[in-house]
Structure 1
Amino acid sequence: MRPLMLHALRASLILSAALAAAQDAGHHHPGTPDPSGGTGMGGVEAPPTLQNEGEIFAILAAADRAEITEGTYARTHARSRDVRSYGRMMVTMHTAASNRMSALSRRLRISPLEGAESRSLTREAAATQAQLARLTGDEFDRAYLSSQITEHEHLLEMLDRTLIPSARTAELRTALQNDVRPMVSSHLVRARTLRERL
């Protein structure tokens, strides 16, 4: 689990940098992740795997909760109409995704299992929400979108390197590949587009 914890720490540092740079109109974002699942790591490091599929459900639940909470705040506090609309989309789509994954968890009889990664996501989300709550207007809009970019990049990498490879149940793997990953990727593209306009 050490690579996951190190990755979570790196993601937290990246998020802090993104929020600090939110006022920079020239903020640069990396390209869209490879939909084939490539990580750009050149195969140097073997992807970490989870021992229990319940951890996958717990990680996705933590990510959904974060997006719903941040989206709820953004839809009422963002200055830009487009950013408010994006916040509403996050609430709607991540609520639906959470419901689908909960139903799948029950159907497969796999209970969510909290682990280091899901707890780390929850802590990072709380820190992000606290930082966003101190901002207003355009500054909030930029910081919110920057955090969305970082969070969705992080989740995409987790899907490609850890969650999908750890899914041993065919139905769960299919849901991750055909439902969760495309949704996360589309949210990342939209956040980048909006961020570039601010």
Structure 2
Amino acid sequence: MRKHIGSWLVAGALLVGGPGLAQSSADAGTASAGTDALTTAKQLIGQDESGLLQRLHQANKMEVELGQLAQQKATDSDVKQYGQMMVTDHQALDQQLKAYAQKKGVTLSEDEPSAANDTEKAVMEAEKASKAKLQALQGPSFQYAYVADMVEDHDMDISKVAAAMEQFKSNAELVKMLEATAPKLTEHRERAYTLLGRHKAKAHMASSGKK
């Protein structure tokens, strides 16, 4: 479902400018692909500031929940530690988001917002399916699927932030908050990508019955 992820990464790199992502963008595609990706990402961030804040809040909640799942189900310490980092960092990011929302008079709901369009509906459904899959997996298969999901999730999150910085560029206070968020998302993505390479072989051996 997440066929736009590769090009979303281009958009994120173009606007956020993280060093790791800049290299990834060169591999992922061209600037025109990044422009198309921004158009897609803008369909996932709501139509106004309140809608954006609600979606960022839900994204933080999801990363915390999956991080807790990783701590419960992972057997390797590096994946457990990554899961703990997701819980700690995204709880902190969400506290910053809540403080900003309170200042703006926006009440953040714990319920998932209604999809604003077909693209967002499809992404929400894919995220639910991905979470259900992770809940059903065990051992090396879980660990590989989890870190792969974290690469994709953070590619998406980075591109949402990039799209929001473009769409709400006249809102200097909001842009400042988004700019402060971007480096942490970049770090998470790069750590997940490193783990992905490490656990791919383990998952393959487990699925083939090799030891």
Q: Could you tell me how far 1:70 is from its partner in structure 2?
A: 0.5
Residue number in structure 2 paired with 1:185: 186
Q: Could you say if the C-alpha distance between residues 112 and 119 of structure 1 is closer, same or farther in structure 2, counting changes exceeding 3 Å? A: farther
Q: For residues 117-150 of structure 1, what are the alpha-carbon distances to aligned partners after superposition, in whole Å with 9 as ceiling and x for unaligned?
A: 6766554332222101111111110000000001
- Indicate the structure with greater helix content: 2
Instruction: Using structure 2 for the length normalisation, give the TM-score.
Output: 0.70
How far has the Cα of 1:157 moved from its partner? Answer: 1.5
The answer on whether the counterparts of 2:16 and 2:182 sit within 8 Å (CA) in structure 1 is: no
Q: CA 1:45–1:86 in structure 2 vs 1: closer, same or farther (change >3 Å)?
A: closer
The counterpart of 2:83, out of the listed 75, 80, 87, is: 87
The superposition leaves residues 60-119 of structure 1 with CA deviations (integer Å, 9 ceiling, x where unpaired) of 111111101100010111011000000011011101111110110111224458352676
- Mind listing any 5+ residue stretches in structure 1 that lack a counterpart? 1-9, 16-29
Structure whose alpha-carbon radius of gyration is higher:
2
Name the CA distance, whole Å, in 1 between partners of 2:181 and 2:56.
9
Identity in percent: 25
Aligned to 2:153: 151
Deviations 1:137-185 (A, max 9, x none): 111100000000011111112221x2111224211110101x2111111
Paired residues, number: 171
Q: 1:191 to 1:45 in 2, by over 3 A?
A: closer
| Alignment partners' CA distance in 1, 2:85 and 2:138 | 20
**Separation in structure 1 between the aligned mates of residue 157 and residue 37 of structure 2, nearest angstrom:** 18
* 2:131 match: secondary structure: helix
Where structure 2 has 5 or more consecutive residues not aligned to the other structure, the ranges are: 18-24, 200-211
Separation in 2, partners of 1:44, 1:104: 29
Greater RCO, 1 or 2 (C-alpha within 8 Å, sep 6+): 1
